[in-house]
Structure 1
Amino acid sequence: MLRYILLAISLSSFAAANFYQVTIPKEPFGYVYKSGSSDAPVVLSVWQCLQCSDAAAAWPVLKEVGDHYGPAQVQVVFYGFPLPYLRGAFLSARATKAVDQLDPSLTVDYMDLVYANQDKIGRSPDTVSDADMLEVLVGLAEDIGILREDFLDEYNKAITNVYSRNEWKVGITDSVHHSPTIFVNNVVELSFNPSWTLQDWTAVIDPLLA
């Protein structure tokens, strides 16, 4: 009897220890901008919701930062962090992963289009259903040359769903709670706001490269 009690306690402890464990992916989460080098001395980790207006405002400048410094100096990595209170946020994150699986070279182009069409997804009327929002996302994929059937096949895979959920969970474990949240070399940049220009970013990054 004692043996069974000890076994039960052991199994209970094992379950408790692993209850919050996010499934470790075969490849790191995130989308690296223009093949930014993993050896770059500065890494910008951008957690963003594609239906967040602040993230949309910051998006062009963050790409400009990557272009200004180049992939050898600054690696910019975008992570999906769909906010639960914005309509279509999770659908957009899942759609982005589907596109990335089909053609990683089109991922940023797709996010460009999703940001530009927030009014049809995140800010659409309440009468617009999830199915309607998905149709918009399908259309945007077609606009960059992805076949509807291929997109939907990838979107509907369980692994795409699980990836998008776990990416969000990783953000939570890293204390991300708003969009966009930006880490510079793993340290959150608390002074950042969506109105920052390239000059604001160079004031942060240039001293790190000096």
Structure 2
Amino acid sequence: MPKSKPTVPLTTFILIVILTLLVRSQSAIPSRYDGFVYRKRAASTSTVFIEAFYDPVCPDSRGSWPPLKQALDHYGPALVSLIVHPFPLPYHDNAFITSRALHIVNELNASATYPLLDAFFKHQERFYNAQTSNMSREAVLDQVIGFASSTLGNSLHSAIKSGFNDSKTGIKTRVSFKYGCSRGVYGTPFFFVNGFLIPVSDDTIDYNGWRKIIDPLTNKQRHYPVNVL
């Protein structure tokens, strides 16, 4: 009699199927690192490197931004650099649209990205769930386009509108969200310093808090400078 072929246990088969689906569902590696470089300060291993995950319509993100900016301006680009990753939270109705607007503007003029983020934070209430609950998606989109155009210059209106018709900007916004998930981000704000997570707290890190984090690291830089390969 011919020998019977060995059978694969059901649990092993299910595991193989799940892993196959996960691999297939993974996004392709983007052509460049996600996020927006602060004031065109090149992120480098020779600086203290901060990564912030922000939702443009998150009140906690808004509250944490001024002290972080103050700390960045205190140290300067030779010591500290920053990249902000947009992370649109699903329970904020307009997080994806506003994050996409940042990607669009960053492609048009990288110098305008942070002024738009500042403007979203300053006028955040206009894009809260309750304020736009009776508006259609198209109406909200028109409001975001108009807001970005009036903030940065009406000459950009058609370019910003065209950006929302370009599927590539939607993909970039999804990549930002997936990248955050891959780093274990589940809310905003989230901060990493030199690749290490700053423990999440209900309290916003104030200026003195950032000084306590960064000062010891910059002192090490002065004594043991890091060479960029």
Query: Which residue of 34, 39, 42 corresponds with 1:29?
Result: 34
Query: Which residue of 183, 187, 190 corresponds with 2:196?
Result: 187
Q: CA deviation at 1:15?
A: 4.6
Q: In the alignment, what sits opposite 2:186? A: 177
**Structure 2 alignment gaps of length 5 or more:** 1-12, 220-229
Counterparts of 1:58-73 in structure 2 under 5 Å?
A: 58-73=64-79
Query: Which residue of 85, 108, 112 corresponds with 2:114?
Result: 108
Q: CA deviation at 1:135?
A: 2.0
Counterparts of 1:35-184 in structure 2 under 5 Å?
A: 35-39=40-44, 40-123=46-129, 124-143=131-150, 144-145=152-153, 146-184=155-193
Q: CA deviation at 1:73?
A: 0.8
Q: CA deviation at 1:191?
A: 5.2
- Give the aligned length: 201
Q: CA deviation at 1:137?
A: 1.5
TM-score by length of 2: 0.81
Q: In the alignment, what sits opposite 1:204? A: 213
Distance 1:184 1:121 in 2: 30
Distance 1:149 1:161 in 2: 17
**Structure 1 alignment gaps of length 5 or more:** 1-8
Sequence identity (%) = 28
Change (3 A) 1:121 1:191: closer
SS of residue matched to 1:19:
helix
State which structure, 1 or 2, has the greater radius of gyration over its C-alpha atoms.
Answer: 2
Q: CA deviation at 1:114?
A: 1.2
TM-score by length of 1: 0.88
Aligned residues: CA RMSD: 2.1
Distance 1:164 1:13 in 2: 26
SS of residue matched to 1:176:
coil
Contact 1:89 1:122 in 2 (8 A): no
Contact 1:43 1:76 in 2 (8 A): yes
